[in-house]
Amino acid sequence: MSKSDRSRVARVAQGAGGGSFARRLIDWYRRHGRHDLPWQRDRDPYRVWLSEIMLQQTQVATVLPYYERFLQRFPAVQDLARAAVDEVMAAWSGLGYYARARNLHACARRIVDEHGGRFPRSGEALGRLPGIGPSTAAAIAAFCFDERGAILDGNVRRVLARHWAIEGYPGRAAVQNAFWDRAREELPASRSIGAYTQAIMDLGATVCTRTRPSCERCPVQSSCQARRQARIDEFPAPRPQRERPQRTEWVLIALSRGRVLLQRRPSRGIWGGLMCLPHFDALASLRRYARGLRAGASGPVRMAARRHELTHLSLALRPYRLEANLAANERRDGPDGARWLTLEAAGRAGMPAPHRVLLMQAAVAAGRPRIRGSTEPIQERPR
């Protein structure tokens, strides 16, 4: 959006709403916003930081039970920093976007080691910590320290795009810069920054929703350019369409007397750092691997295939169940570092939801106890 376009939109808004975008949002928030979320009970930066990381790409309703359980397990940043990364990944299992959990653990350690267990009080310093981008840093600084700074999560971007009719796909640098410019221009004074930050988040989450927005309930509808132009569904512009890549993985569910073989994924890539069932690019590779476990010649049994949709990839999982029935001295770890874990230990491990579901199904088919843990992948959508 050019400077002339922004000036025109500002003049229209001034005439329609008195130039009071922030004030109208704050007034609306005090009467209709969300005030009972658990991380709003105090200004504890640890709790606010945890909620902000969990809420990236994930809805509030999904986050709430994970947030409470995570706090019970790691009540302070020192507890999180002392924990093993496996324990953190297990507590995160099911929330998706697992790089967030690895960064959460790394950030906690940095805060303890370099900041004495205290969160930096400025958005600039917070933004230098692992996993904290500019928007998250500004949100923490606003809620906890009253620092005046702009945020730009998915909900905020949608509100700004519609209200100011910001054209173009937000992933493009020039369009992103226009969003940041507008977000900064609308900031209120520091004393109101916390209420405003929560207000614009809440507006996008509950009123200016991605589909079927409730424009009649919007406090800034009188100056909304998308509404005036009858183009609400056009903002923000969608990602340019491209074909989602397809991938097939063959998955081995090797069971032996109450144990299952799991391997850790590399830190980069899909489900990085999580414990997973051994997976292969071809069925022949899976069969060779199974023979190497000294599991006999009967071969694995095919199970029903599953499809899992990731943000950037459509993944087809072709699972095969293998009942090895090996004695303890016969169970060999895989050549790639895979380990035999008890089903109870596997239930506590950080596993991606699709693999956990496959393991549960195989255990039930083999007459084993049910595996504890999430059975369905969550819907990974913003707040």
**How much is the pLDDT for 270?**
87
Residue ranges of the domains in the chain? 3-234, 246-365
| DSSP one-letter code for 222 | G
pLDDT by position in tens, the chain (length 383): 444 434 433 443 333 333 489 999 999 999 999 999 999 988 999 999 999 999 998 899 999 999 999 999 999 999 999 999 989 999 998 888 889 999 999 999 999 999 999 999 999 999 999 999 999 999 999 999 999 999 999 999 999 999 999 999 999 999 999 999 999 999 999 899 999 999 999 999 999 999 999 999 999 999 999 999 999 999 999 988 877 899 999 999 999 888 999 999 888 888 888 899 999 999 999 998 888 876 554 678 899 999 998 877 899 999 999 988 777 667 777 667 789 999 988 988 888 989 999 999 888 877 765 555 443 333 333 45
Q: How far apart are CA 317 and CA 241, in angstroms?
A: 25
Please tell me the CATH code under which domain 246-365 is placed.
3.90.79.10
52 given a catalytic annotation: yes
Please tell me the CATH code under which domain 3-234 is placed.
1.10.340.30
**How much is the pLDDT for 372?**
55
Closest alpha carbon to 308 in 318, 299, 298: 318
| Residue 165 region by backbone torsions, left for phi larger than 0, else alpha for psi between -120 and 50, else beta | left
Which residues are within 8 A (CB) of 133 and not within 5 positions of it... i.e. 6 or more apart? Answer: 127
Query: Helix or strand or coil: residue 164?
Result: helix
**How much is the pLDDT for 369?**
57
What's the farthest any 2 CA atoms get from each other in the chain?
81
**36 vs 32, 40, 218, 378, CA distance in Å?**
12, 7, 21, 23
| Two tokens, residue 53 | 């990381």
**How much is the pLDDT for 327?**
73
Catalytic residue among 52, 147, 186, 249: 52
Cis geometry, peptide bond prior to residue 236 (ω within 30 degrees of 0): yes
**How much is the pLDDT for 92?**
93
Q: Is 327 exposed, middle or buried (0-12, 13-18, 19+ CB in 10 A)?
A: exposed
